[in-house]
């Protein structure tokens, strides 16, 4: 019997191997968005004191895109671009408004979450995914379920000592509240419940949008205690950094609620701000950990594709400012991590990537048909092999006809008036030396300029917040609907 048994088993095994394989179940998607997080996370090395073990662990479990960049250095245009698959220059959405459903170029587009809702995923959103509130018309076409957003209670008195009457969000400090009362903890709990209650016979798409480290930078005291003020390291800055930069660079952030570095220094608020950013990032990272733990506890981790991203970066003194609204590395570089089925663990892709690439990547990774109207490019080849080549740069746009082209080595910026910046990021990672005027780099600029968007629509909201208008025929400039005269001094906070 034993002599006959072995051939029979081998024959059965051969038949099984020839039989058609059952199709793999469509993966779940956990879509984690973070507001205003630059590269100050451990795996990106943006700040030596960053405490982000859960995001770092996620990067080890999947693929980290270490040269990923946003399409706009501002919440609304960045998120509108990612979720519709169109560049800001193709839609005219540059400012904090309008909603993309009111713009002709995007009002009828099927968004990223809407695509999965229509395809049969159980879809849920909490926190900040779109900018602001759901679309007024048929929000269930985007997500089937929208959780109620909770704001962190504001302290009775602001912590930050800033001049005049600062914007209410311009504050940072430890609050006397438990973790459970902070907005991001509540948001994570909503996403956790959605994962736990998701139907077992359908894939889920759970989108969780964290607020921190967007201002106001409030978190429980225990998280600030992890960063003693006297030990906090300030980011390196060069006081003459903007001496070789075109004046036009100031117009992109002419008047903002975020304070200039000079004000932070005068008011002794630079260290407290940096500490608060580190503390709030650490608190937010703990909420990411809670989500990832839930995948393990529910047995869904093996079949859940996790994508984590931030909508843009944030300056903390670099280039003599705080906030975003710039075309430099601190404002454009963002975390982008994929982990889960189909993703090779431990991958680190150094080729340029864009947030615009997330949409086509999720379509291909889930076996859905490609969309020819999307302007990004799938990252699936890099999810399999992080060294797979990518021929495209990362392009960031700040208002009409102001663009940055970022390759693996270079950043080329051209403003609407034709002025330029060029940085060799390998030799000058802090972008302290503008090479644009040197004849030796004329060919490099010409090659990079070929990637500048050919379409540059006018602003869909000409007088909107954070909107800059420039008339190349006359040189006229307006910021948020108010004229800027050629001799006007650069605004400060005094």
Over residues 390-417, the pLDDT tens digits come to: 999 999 999 999 999 999 999 999 999 9
What tokens does 331 get? Answer: 């404002």
Q: For residues 322 and 170, is the Cβ–Cβ distance under 8 A?
A: no
pLDDT higher than 90, residue 149: no
Please work out, in degrees rounded to the nearest 5, the angle formed at the alpha carbon of residue 35 by the alpha carbons of 378 and 137: 75
Q: Is 75 a catalytic residue?
A: yes
For the ranges 84-98, 150-164, 346-360, which has the lowest average pLDDT? Answer: 150-164
Residues 479-483 have a mean pLDDT of 97
Q: For residues 112 and 82, is the Cβ–Cβ distance under 8 A?
A: yes
Domain ranges of the chain: 24-387
- H-type helices in 101-260, by residue range? 112-118, 183-197, 221-224, 248-251
Bridge-based pairing of strands 315-316 and 122-127 is unpaired
> Comparing 13 with 176, which gets the higher pLDDT?
176
pLDDT tens-digit series, residues 119-128: 999 999 999 9
First-to-final CA distance of the chain: 95
> Residue 155 and residue 218: Cα distance in Å, rounded?
9
> Residue 28 and residue 48: Cα distance in Å, rounded?
34
Q: For residues 142 and 111, is the Cβ–Cβ distance under 8 A?
A: yes
> Residue 280 and residue 339: Cα distance in Å, rounded?
24
Candidate list 47, 69, 99, 131, residue with the active-site label: 131
CA-wise closest residue to 66 among 448, 425, 433? 425
What tokens does 351 get? Answer: 């080729």
Omega before 216 cis (within 30°)? yes
CATH of domain 24-387: 3.40.720.10
> Comparing 485 with 7, which gets the higher pLDDT?
485
State the DSSP H helix or E strand holding residue 209, giving kind and residue range, or none if neither. strand 204-210
pLDDT higher than 50, residue 319: yes
Helix/strand/coil for 13? helix
Helix/strand/coil for 181? helix
pLDDT tens-digit series, residues 182-233: 999 999 999 999 999 999 999 999 999 999 999 999 999 999 999 999 999 9
Helix/strand/coil for 398? coil
DSSP state at residue 252: T
The pLDDT confidence band at residue 494, using thresholds 50, 70 and 90, is low
> Residue 444 and residue 441: Cα distance in Å, rounded?
5
pLDDT higher than 90, residue 6: no
Tell me how far CA of residue 1 lies from CA of 6, 7, 10, 320, 468, in angstroms: 9, 11, 15, 84, 86
Residues 88-110 have a mean pLDDT of 96
Q: How many CB atoms lie within 10 A of CB 249?
A: 21
What does the pLDDT read at residue 226? 98
Q: How many CB atoms lie within 10 A of CB 8?
A: 9
The pLDDT confidence band at residue 150, using thresholds 50, 70 and 90, is confident
- H-type helices in 198-353, by residue range? 221-224, 248-251, 261-266, 270-297, 329-332
Candidate list 75, 126, 280, 349, residue with the active-site label: 75
Residue with tokens 């839930």: 294
pLDDT tens-digit series, residues 450-473: 999 999 999 999 999 999 999 999
What does the pLDDT read at residue 154? 87
Bridge-based pairing of strands 68-69 and 172-175 is unpaired
Residues 85-97 have a mean pLDDT of 98
Query: What rounded mean pLDDT belongs to the chain?
Result: 94
What does the pLDDT read at residue 318? 98
CA-wise closest residue to 75 among 92, 97, 90? 97
Residues 258-281 have a mean pLDDT of 98
The pLDDT confidence band at residue 48, using thresholds 50, 70 and 90, is very high
The pLDDT confidence band at residue 4, using thresholds 50, 70 and 90, is very low
Conformation bin of residue 319: beta by default, left when phi > 0, alpha when psi is -120 to 50: left
> Residue 209 and residue 297: Cα distance in Å, rounded?
21
> Comparing 194 with 4, which gets the higher pLDDT?
194
Residue with tokens 């736990």: 196
> Residue 20 and residue 22: Cα distance in Å, rounded?
7
Q: For residues 362 and 340, is the Cβ–Cβ distance under 8 A?
A: no
Residues 40-58 have a mean pLDDT of 98
Residue 305 has phi, psi (to 5 degrees) of -85, 120
Helix/strand/coil for 422? strand
Strands (E) in 57-146, as ranges, are: 63-65, 68-69, 122-127, 145-146
Bridge-based pairing of strands 122-127 and 394-397 is unpaired
What tokens does 475 get? Answer: 């040189």
């Amino acid at each position: 019997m034993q002599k006959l048994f072995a051939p029979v088993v081998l024959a059965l095994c051969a038949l099984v191997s020839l039989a058609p394989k059952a199709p793999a179940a469509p993966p779940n998607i956990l879509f984690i968005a973070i507001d205003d997080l630059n590269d100050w996370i451990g795996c990106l090395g943006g700040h030596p004191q960053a405490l982000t073990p859960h995001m770092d662990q996620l990067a080890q479990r999947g693929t980290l895109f270490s040269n990923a960049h946003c399409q706009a250095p501002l919440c609304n245009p960045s998120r509108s671009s990612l979720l519709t698959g169109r560049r800001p220059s193709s839609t005219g959405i540059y400012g904090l408004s309008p909603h993309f459903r009111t713009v002709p170029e995007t009002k009828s587009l099927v968004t990223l979450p809407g695509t999965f809702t229509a395809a049969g995923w159980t879809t849920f959103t909490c926190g900040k995914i779109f900018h602001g509130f759901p679309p007024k018309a048929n929000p269930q076409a985007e997500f089937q379920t929208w959780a109620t957003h909770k704001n962190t209670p504001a302290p009775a008195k602001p912590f930050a000592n800033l001049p005049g009457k600062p914007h209410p969000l311009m504050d940072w400090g430890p609050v006397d509240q438990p973790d459970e009362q902070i907005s991001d903890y509540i948001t994570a709990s909503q996403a956790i419940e959605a994962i736990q209650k998701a139907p077992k016979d359908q894939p889920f798409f759970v989108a969780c949008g964290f607020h921190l480290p967007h201002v106001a930078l409030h978190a429980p005291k225990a998280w600030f205690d992890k960063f003693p003020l006297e030990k906090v390291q300030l980011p390196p800055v060069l006081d003459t950094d903007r001496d070789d930069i075109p004046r036009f660079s100031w117009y992109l952030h002419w008047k903002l609620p975020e304070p200039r570095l000079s004000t932070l220094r005068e008011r002794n608020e630079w260290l407290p701000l940096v500490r608060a950013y580190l503390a709030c990032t650490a608190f937010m990272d703990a909420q990411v950990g809670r989500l990832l733990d839930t995948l393990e506890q529910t047995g869904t981790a093996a079949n859940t594709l996790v994508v984590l991203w931030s909508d843009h970066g944030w300056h903390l003194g670099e280039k003599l400012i705080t906030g975003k609204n710039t075309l430099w590395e601190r404002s454009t570089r963002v975390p982008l991590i994929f982990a889960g089925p189909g993703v090779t663990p431990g991958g680190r892709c150094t080729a340029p990537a864009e947030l615009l690439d997330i949409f086509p990547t999720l379509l291909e990774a889930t076996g859905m048909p490609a969309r020819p109207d999307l302007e990004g490019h799938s990252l699936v080849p890099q999810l399999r092999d992080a060294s797979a080549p990518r021929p495209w740069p990362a392009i960031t746009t700040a208002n009409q006809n102001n663009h940055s082209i970022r390759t693996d080595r270079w950043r080329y910026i051209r403003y609407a008036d034709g002025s330029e910046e060029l940085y060799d990021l390998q030799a000058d990672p802090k972008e302290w030396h503008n090479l644009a005027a040197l004849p030796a780099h004329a060919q490099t600029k010409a090659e990079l300029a070929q990637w500048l968007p050919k379409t540059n629509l006018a602003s869909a909201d000409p007088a909107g917040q954070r909107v800059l208008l420039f008339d190349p025929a006359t040189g006229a400039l307006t910021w948020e609907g108010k004229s800027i005269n050629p001799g006007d001094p650069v605004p400060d906070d005094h």
